[in-house]
Every structure is written in structure tokens, then in C-alpha cells.
Amino acid sequence: MKPLGPIPAGYGSIDGELALGGKAASALVEEAGGTPLFVYSADLMRRRMAVLRQAMPQSLRIHYAIKANSYRPVLELMAGLVDGFDIASGGELEMVLAAGQDPAKVSFAGPGKRDDELRAAIENGVTLNLESENEAHRALRIAEELGKAPALAIRVNPDFELRGSGMKMGGGAKPFGLDAERVSALAREIIAAGATWRGLHIYTGSQALDAGAVAETQANVLELAARLTREIGHPLPHLNMGGGFGIPYFSGDQPLDIAAVGAALGERFDQLPGELAGTEFAIELGRYLVGEAGVYLTRVVDRKVSHGTTFLVTDGGLHHQLAASGNFGTVVRRNYPVAIASKFTGEPVEEVNVVGCLCTPLDRLADQAMVPHADIGDTVAVFCAGAYGASASPSAFLGQGPAREMLV
């Protein structure tokens, strides 16, 4: 037997079935027209934001990194909840504009911005988080062609990392941002060139569950921002402190202690160095805001036994759940939280492997999982599906196509 990850808070049951937004899984599937289906809960997203606002210093702005989940209704919901959107491509810019987001509240980071993406951002007044001197020069040239002052910030590659983060994005040689020692020269150059100086973006890592590590990194970020501001010699209007708040995916993972993070940040804000006295602070979160608010529902198409092992074969799979299958940035595959949605309150009585419908051994949703007895027609739920599920999986693989999505 292998353990399953912890089921996030907020999921209930109706008549023994998994329920979300006051509806049973079977009703949600019927409403959507079938499986595989991502269901996102507006209520859980709202609650997550409320808890976060409560925990964080009041002045802290909270941005949503839409790469986690760019489903249009989710963007529309988040637009009313957060203080800004962070995007990573021209395609994402189109999405946030289509969702009615004010472009002045949007910032664009990403190491390989093409000229057409820079142009669209500048035309719309989106803040560019510059990743290199070259990108700065291209942005200034395009802005001049457009006769518009570009809103420019600089992304910093800090010399420290977020300890314990699932994905490190700072510390050492990185394709992201400018090494800290080159930031002030470029900042002075773009300010002199007439750009609207929007400040700094310091992103250190993602998916951290240790409040101490997050707090330590935030302290380092503030210190670095103060030092760079001193070097630049201009007030810092805005500091994007990055994100990194993780969610529990695997057995043994403990939720991030958000109150501790907020308290530590509050203390820092009370003793800000003079350089940052007038600065607006933001964090950018993707996974943390929406990940636990989504569930992936997939129907059991076959139940079979091979050499004593029971397989539940579903109509979903890694084409919608690449990370859950263990094939995205993971070395050792571990089970996400998975359950039999149609028998959610049932006792676990047998060990099964839950697999997808793809004709490849990579397509696994749960290994050696103890679950209630499930048969053809039952529905499997994969939790933590609100982030990097639909958006980060190869949906066209084997001619399958995307899953249904709904926000309830």
C-alpha cells in the first residue's frame, strides 16, 4: 500500500458521494455533460482569499499568477478578489484582457518575451518585469516607436533561494531576471530613458510549505530591495516579493502556516528601512489561491485484475493530470490525494492502481491506493486539481482533447 495525499478542507458529501458547491459529484458531471471534468469551487477560492487577507498585513497586495489556472470564469472571479494579475506570455495577456481585467493592474514576467509580446504589453500599459538588459533595450525601442512611456520593472535574480521550495527560481545562475549586481545600472538607464519606473520583482521559488523558510526569504527580499533601491537612487514604487506559498499534495505534507508568515511579514513592515517607506508591496500566488479549490473527476471505464493487482482504468489521465501522474518536475512519483467520488464516505477495503486511458505505462493516477470497492461507472476524484492541471497537461496526446471545466 502507498499512502494518498491529504484531501483538502472544504469537500463534503451528499448521500455518500463527494460534494462540492452543494452538489454531489454525479450531479456536477451530469450538469457538465460528462467526464473527464475539472470542477472549481468559487466558494473555496473566496474562502482562501479571505483567510489570506486576514493573515497578511493589510497593505500587502495579493496578485494572481494566472498560469496556475486561466479558465475564463476563474479569471473573472479572481479579478474581483485580487489586486492584480501576473502573466507570462502574450497569450495570457489576451486572456486577462478578455476577462475584463484592468491592464494597469497586470504585470508580465517571463524569460523569452518576443517583440510582439513587448509591444502588446506596452500598448496596453501592462508592467513589464524585465528579464535582461537586452529585453530592456527592445522594450525602450518599441515604446519609442509607439510614442508611449513603458511601465518597466526589473526582475532580480537574487543570490538566495527559497529553502525547501519545490522549484527554485533564485540562487546561482538562472535564466530569470538580472543578477542583483547589474540591477541598479539598468534601473538608472531606463529611468533616464523616460520609462515609468515600476520597481522590482524578486521571485525565489515555489511550492514551499515551511513558514520559517518563507518568512526568511521575504526578509531577504526586503533587504535586497532596500539595498538595490539605495544603489538605484530613486524611490521604489512597487516591490513584487514573489510567491512560493505551497499546498499539501503528498502524505505527510503539512499546510503552510499562513498566520506565521503573515505575522512575520507584519513585523518586517513595522520596521521597514527608509528606502522602502513609500513602496507598495505585493505577493504573487497561483497554486496557493486555486490549487485546492479544484477537483478532477474521471469515470471508471474498466476494472481489471492482472497478476493479482486490481486496476481501475479511467476515461481521464495524464493528458489532463501530468503532474499527478508523476511526470512533471518530479523524480519519485508519489500519490496525490485521490478518492472514489461516488463512494466518498465508504470504507477503504481494497488496494488498487488507478490508471488513465492512455496506452502508456506513464499514465498513472494512484499507485497501490486503499479505496472503497469501485466498479465501472464509479467516479474517481483527483484533488489539488485547481492549479497546473488543465493548464499544464498535454491534452491533445493520443487524440484525446481537453477535459470539461466548470466553476461552481
Q: Which is nearer to a copy of itself, 26 or 360 (CB)?
A: 360
Residue 187: CB minimum distance to a copy of itself, A: 17
Closer to a copy of itself by Cβ: residue 279 or 393? 393
Binding string, residues 278-317; x marks residues near a copy of itself by CB under 8 A: -----------------------xxxx-xxxx-x-xxx-x
Least separation in angstroms between CB 393 and a copy of itself: 5
Q: 6, 110, 158, 246: which one contacts a copy of itself (CB under 8 A)?
A: 110
When asked if residue 36 is in the footprint of a copy of itself (CB under 8 A), the reply is no
- Binding to a copy of itself (CB under 8 A) within 131-150 occurs at 131-135
Query: Cell numbers 507598495 correspond to what residue?
Result: 280
Tell me how crowded residue 116 is: count the other CB atoms within 10 A of its CB.
10
- State which residue, 22 or 111, has the beta carbon closest to a copy of itself: 111
Choose among 226, 256, 288, 178: nearest CA to 170.
178
User: Does residue 70 belong to the site contacting a copy of itself (CB under 8 A)?
Assistant: yes
In the window 201-240, what residues touch a copy of itself (CB under 8 A)? none
Pick one of 85, 176, 296, 344: the residue that binds a copy of itself (CB under 8 A).
Answer: 176
- Examine residue 160 and tell whether it contacts a copy of itself (CB under 8 A): no
Q: Least separation, in Å, of the C-beta of 322 and a copy of itself?
A: 6
Nearer to a copy of itself, 67 or 343 (CB): 67
Q: Which is nearer to a copy of itself, 144 or 351 (CB)?
A: 351
Contacting a copy of itself (CB under 8 A), which of 98, 167, 185, 349? 167
Among 23, 26, 360, 408, binds a copy of itself (CB under 8 A): 360
Which of the stretches 22-30, 125-133, 143-151, 275-283 binds a copy of itself when contact is defined by CB under 8 A?
125-133
- Name the residue nearer to a copy of itself (CB basis): 217 or 279: 217
Q: Which CB sits closer to a copy of itself, 277 or 331?
A: 331
Question: Which one of 1, 192, 277, 359 is in contact with a copy of itself (CB under 8 A)?
Answer: 359
